[in-house]
Amino acid sequence: MDDKANGYWSATLGLLAKILVVWFLVSFGAGILFADALNGIMLGGYPLGFWFAHQGSIYIFIALIFFYAKKMGDIDRQFDVHEE
Amino acid sequence: MDLQTMTYLVVGASFALYIGIAIWARAGSTSEFYAAGGSVHPVLNGMATGADWMSAASFISMAGLISNMGYGGGLFLMGWTGGYVLLAMLLAPYLRKFGKFTVPQFIGDRFYSKTASTIAVICLLTASITYIIGQMTGVGVAFSRFLGVSNETGIYVGMGIVFAYAVFGGMKGITYTQVAQYVVLILAYTVPAVFISLQLTGNPLPQLGLGGNMVGTDVSLLSKLDQVVTDLGFGKYTTSTAGSTLNMFVYTMSLMIGTAGLPHVIMRFFTVPTVKDARSSAGWALVFIAILYTTAPAVAAMAKMNLIRTVTPGVVMQNTDPYTADAQIKYDERPEWMKRWEKTGLLKFEDKNGDGRIQYYNDKTKSDAVKAKAEAAGWKGNELTVNADIIVLANPEIALLPDWVIALVAAGGLAAALSTAAGLLMAISAAVSHDLVKGVFAPDISEKNELLAGKISMAVAIVIAGYLGLNPPGFAAGTVALAFGIAASSLFPAIMMGIFSKKMNKEGAMAGMLAGLFITLFYVFAHKGIFFIKGTDFVDMIGGPNSFFGITPEAFGAIGALVNFGVAFVVDKMTKEPPEHIQHMVEAVRIPRGSKMVDGAH
C-alpha cells in the first residue's frame, strides 16, 4: 500500500513539475523576461512578446489545466485510487 | 427613449432576474447557505466562479489601467489568469478531498491547532476587506454614473444594495444568481468590444482586431497607437513596462499566488461533487474568465485610441499633427458623454491656456521634442483628467455606440461589482461565524445565532469597506491587487505546505503566516497609510517609495510569500514533528478515493 501511495504521489509531482515549467516559460519567460527579444517577431499586427503578455499565455493556461485534469485522471486509474 | 430611461430599464430588468433566481433557490440550512450542498455541475460552477472572480476590478477598472499602462498592464492579464493553473493543480483537488467548508477549517485541522485557525481567519479578513474596499471604489464609479450623482453618493447607495443582496441569499442563491450575472456581464463586456473592433479594424473579434490593421489602411492598429501616443508624450504602448522588469515579474507572481490563496475563490471548489470535478472546474472557470480577459487588452488599446480621437479628431484617421492650432476640439463642442461623466467628478477639464480647446497629452514627458512642440503650440499643461476607472464604462459612449449598449454596460458593471462583493462577504461571514465564533469562542452556538453572527459581520465589513472606499488607496484594480498580495503572502504558503509537506508542523505554519502577513502589511501600510487611513503613511521611514528594489506595494506579496516559506521552514526544523495521525491525514488528502460530501461538523 505504501509503495503504491508513493508511486502515485511521485507520478503526480512529476506531472506538476512538467506543467509548471510550461506555465513559467509562457508567462514569466515569453511574456516578461524575453518579451523585448520576442517583440522583434510579428504575429499579424502583434509584436510576439506583447502577444504572450496580453493574449497567448491565457490560452496556454487553459490548455494546461485541461491537460492536467486529463492526465491526473489517467494516473488515478493507473494506481487504482480513482473515485468510484 | 432617452439614455437615462433606457439605463434604468436594462439595469432594472437584470436586477429583477437576479432577485427572481435568489427567491427560487432560497437558502435553507447552514450547509446550503455556505456551500450549496455540494451539488453544482462543473460547467455551471465554472461560470459562477467566473462571475464571482470577475469583479469591479476586472470589469470596470482593469482595461482602464491597461489603457494607461500599455504592455505593462499585461501583469493583470497574466496574473489574474495564471493563478488558476496553480489553484487547479496545487490546491483545489486536495481541499475538495479534505471536505470542509472553509480555509481556516483546513488550516486548523491540518495544523491541529485552534490558534492556527484563528491566525488564518485574521489573514482571510485582512485580505477580504482590502478586496472589498477596491470593490466599493468600483461600485461607487458604477452607481455614480448610473444615477448621475457624485462618486461619494454612489458609494453610499452601493453599500446599501450590496448588503441587502448578500444577506438575502446564501451561496446557493448566489451560485445560480451568479450564472445569470456572468451572462449579463460577459455580454456587457464583449458586445461593445465587437462594435468598436469593427469600427476601427473591420474585424468583429476583438482578439483578432487588436492584431489587425486600421480599417482601410495597411497600418496595424498597435503600430498606429504606438505612434499616436508617443506623439503626445506618453510611453510607447506595446513596450512600456510596469516600473521595471523585476517589478513586473514579482507583481505578476503576487497576483498569481494570491489568486490561489483567496478564500472566496477556494470556497468555490468545495461546492463540486468530486475531486475529479474540482480539477476540471478550475479549467472551466478559466475558460469563462478568459473570454473577458482576452477581450480586455483590445478594449484597453481601442479605448485609448478612441479617447485621443475624440479630443483630436484628425489624428487617428487622417494623420493630422495634434499640435496644429485647430486640431483639438473646443470644450463647448465636447460630446455628451464628457458632460455626463463630469457630473461624477471623475472626468475633469481645466482650460490652462485659456484657448477654449481641450489639450490632452503627457505634460510630464521626458521627450524634449514633445515639450518643444507643446510649447510652440502654446500649451500650458494637460487639461483633461480622465479617471482610469471610468474607461470601460465610458468606452461605448466614447465610441458613440447605440444607447442600449451603454445601458447594457452599466448593468454589467453593477453585476460584476455586486457578485464579487457578495462572494467576499460570504467568505467573511463564514470565517467569523463558523471558524471564529463557533470554532473558538462559542462551540455550542445554535444554527440560528451562527447565521446571525455571519450577517452582523457582513454589515460591519461593508461599513468599514465603504468608509475606506471613499478615500481609496488607489484605483479599484490597484487596491484589489493589494488584497491579492496579502492573500499570497499569508494563506497560500500555509495551505500549500499543508498539502505538499507531511512534516510541516503547527509552529512553522503559524510563524510563517504571521511573518508573511506582517512584512507585507508593513510595506503596504508604509505607502498607503496604517489600515489605509490617509495621512498615516510612513514611507520616509523605509527610505522613500518603492525602496525595496523598486518594488511597488501592490507587487510585494510575492516577497511576503517567500518570507512566509522561509520562516516556516526554519521554525519547522527547530520544533518537533507533527503527530502521526496528522501525517496520515495528509496522505489521505492526496488520494482522490474516498472523497465524500462536504461536512461542516468538527
What residue segments make up the domains of chain A, in order of their start? 2-78
Q: What architecture is domain B3-305+397-589? A: Up-down Bundle (1.20)
Contact predicate B219/A3, CB 8 Å: no
pLDDT tens for each residue of B333-345? 899 889 988 888 8
What percentage of chain B carries pLDDT values higher than 90? 43
Per the DSSP assignment, residues forming a β-bridge with B374 are none
Q: Do A65 and B283 touch (CB under 8 A)?
A: yes
Which residues from chain A sit within 8 angstroms of residue B587, using beta carbons?
A: 5
Q: Which of A44, A54, A66 sits opposite B297 (nearest CB)?
A: A54
For chain B, the maximum distance between any two Cα atoms, rounded to a whole number of angstroms, is 80
Domain residue spans of chain B: 3-305+397-589
What does the CA dihedral B12, B17, B22, B25 come to, rounded to 10 degrees?
Answer: 170
Mean pLDDT of chain A: 93
Between CA B133 and CA B462 the distance in angstroms is 9
B583 touches chain A (CB under 8 A): no
Collapsed DSSP state (helix, strand, coil) of residue B349 = strand
Which residues from chain B sit within 8 angstroms of residue A3, using beta carbons?
A: none
CA of A37, closest CA in chain B: separation in Å?
A: 11
Cell of A1: 500500500
Between CA B94 and CA B109 the distance in angstroms is 14
Size of interface A-B (CB pairs under 8 A): 139
Cell of B437: 465564533
Contact predicate B289/B81, CB 8 Å: yes
Q: How do strand A42-43 and strand B384-386 relate by DSSP bridges?
A: unpaired
Ordered alpha helix ranges (H), chain A: 2-24, 35-38, 48-51, 57-78
Average confidence (pLDDT) per 10 residues, chain B, 602 residues: 87 86 62 52 82 84 92 95 94 87 88 94 92 85 81 86 71 69 91 94 94 90 92 91 92 94 81 84 93 96 92 82 87 90 88 91 89 90 90 88 89 82 81 84 84 87 86 83 94 95 95 96 91 83 85 94 97 94 92 71 36
B43 touches chain A (CB under 8 A): no
